[in-house]
DNA sequence: TCTAAAAAAGACATCTTTGTCTTTTATGGG
DNA sequence: CCCATAAAAGACAAAGATGTCTTTTTTAGA
């Protein structure tokens, strides 16, 4: 049987991927100049220009990045950027949504009245959330810089 | 920070939830009569009638359920039903999609050139897939039947 | 053979996410 | 004050998942 992208295509939205790669690009390009422009980010990362603009705007509003309009404007990092967790990026890029307790989409499943898989899945969810909460943007850059830079680039 | 439905609203599609609950309902209602009709399933589980029909059709085509047209027709289980894994239901209800290796949506990330979180996420993915592959419809019914029946019912 | 019942199939509507295009707002420099 | 530049904002389009409605096909029994 073909095993499709159970995790790969579902856990994170495209918007999240754009946000993460955008932030990482701004950090790296920002080492050589004060401001990084949307046009550059979008073309370097092959992300739709205006859509990326909306994603970046959310990050700025969320305090994860800073921006400046006008000539010599663009995006830059701030004191929050490197400490931003992946969970924060998920929150900022996703639409606000209700929390549905049962992953299997069964009704009335909760800790008191658990579905048969409740505890196993709860464990996985906890591991997942722990990973997202404990990993910051800065962590990603510290671990394996050389290969990583290639990873966010075009194709 | 609000922690939204990272797992809950993303791992499984609505179609998957309909498929699982539909199969479970057919198994349980099928103990008292040979065939179970779509109208009954849809109204008992509060699932849109025609949409559920399309989902059930996929399960029949996939061999997970059997069906018969006409009077005295409906859906029933077969020798495959109870042995069906959750992974099979994911495959049957999801649209065929390409496998994207990097969960973080980074480019060029794979085992040889891993992104910083590659191995940790790979471990979670493996646990997840193992769970889906090793859990059958029959397993769900054996574990905690009483509470479980309530879980798939309306509201 | 005819009719009723039920799944199967197809056409179309709705909603969300993603993507495109245009207009507005803010800012630095001449 | 004017202009060029760049983010911000808004309107709209495309695609996929979900939902609704209608028609077709199959089947059992009279």
Instruction: Give the contacts of B99 (CB within 8 A, at least 6 positions apart).
Output: A3, A4, A5, A8, A9
pLDDT band at B2 (very low <50, low <70, confident <90, very high): very low
Distance from CA of B108 to the nearest CA of A (A): 5
Sign of CA dihedral B75, B77, B81, B82: positive
**pLDDT (tens digit, 9 = 90+) per residue, B32-89?**
999 999 999 999 999 999 999 999 999 999 999 999 999 999 999 999 999 999 999 9
C-alpha–C-alpha distance, residues B151 and A114, integer Å:
8
Please indicate whether, in this complex, the C-beta atoms of B103 and A7 are within 8 angstroms of each other: yes
| Contact (CB<8Å) A109/B151 | yes
E strand or H helix at A52: helix A49-61
Task: Note whether A74 and A68 are within 8 A (CB).
Answer: yes
Q: How far is CA A130 from CA A125, A144, B6, in A?
A: 8, 21, 12
- The backbone torsions φ and ψ at residue A74, rounded to the nearest 5 degrees and listed phi first, read 145, -155
Among A21, A85, A105, pick the best mutation site for testing chain B contact (most B Cβ within 10 A).
Answer: A105
Which nucleotide has the shortest C1'-to-CA distance from B36? Answer: C6
B9 touches strand C (CB under 7 A): no
Give the CA angle between residues A151, B7, B15 to the nearest 5°: 105
DSSP state for residue A75 in the 8-state scheme: E
Average pLDDT, chain B: 83
List the single residue in A115, A117, A129 with the smallest CB-CB distance to B6.
A129
Which residue among B106, B116, B152 sits closest to A21, beta carbon to beta carbon? B106
CA distance A78 to A70: 19
Sign of CA dihedral A138, A94, A61, B102: positive
Interchain CB distance below 8 Å, A106 and B12: no
Span A79-120, pLDDT tens digits: 999 999 999 999 999 866 555 567 777 766 777 777 777 778
Q: A119: which residues sit within 8 A by CB, 6+ positions away?
A: none
At A11, the pLDDT band (50, 70, 90 cuts) reads confident
Contact A18, A47 (CB under 8 A): yes
How many Å lie between the alpha carbon of A35 and the closest alpha carbon of chain B?
A: 23
Res A72: pLDDT: 95
B94-131 pLDDT tens trace: 866 555 567 677 766 777 777 777 778 888 888 888 88
Q: Which of A103, A94, A95 is nearest to B11 (CA)?
A: A103
Give the distance, in angstroms, between residue A35 CA and nucleotide C27 C1'.
14
pLDDT score for A28: 92
In chain B, which residues have their Cβ closer than 8 Å to the Cβ of A11? 6, 10-11, 103
**Higher model confidence: residue B1 or residue A83?**
A83
Overall residue count recorded for chain B in this entry:
155
Coil/strand/helix, residue A84 = coil
């Amino acid at each position: 049987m073909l095993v499709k992208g159970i995790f790969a295509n579902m856990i994170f939205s495209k918007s999240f991927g754009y946000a993460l790669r955008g932030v990482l690009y701004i950090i790296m390009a920002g080492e050589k100049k004060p401001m990084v422009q949307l046009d550059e980010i979008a073309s370097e990362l092959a992300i739709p220009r205006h859509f990326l603009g909306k994603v970046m705007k959310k990050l700025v509003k969320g305090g994860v990045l800073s921006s400046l309009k006008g000539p010599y404007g663009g995006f830059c990092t701030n004191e929050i950027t490197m400490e931003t967790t992946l969970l924060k990026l998920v929150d900022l890029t996703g639409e606000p949504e209700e929390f549905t307790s049962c992953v299997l989409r069964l009704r009335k499943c909760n800790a008191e009245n658990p579905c048969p898989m409740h505890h196993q899945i709860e464990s996985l969810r906890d591991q997942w959330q722990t990973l997202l909460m404990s990993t910051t943007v800065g962590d990603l850059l510290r671990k394996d810089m050389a290969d990583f830079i290639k990873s966010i680039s075009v194709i």
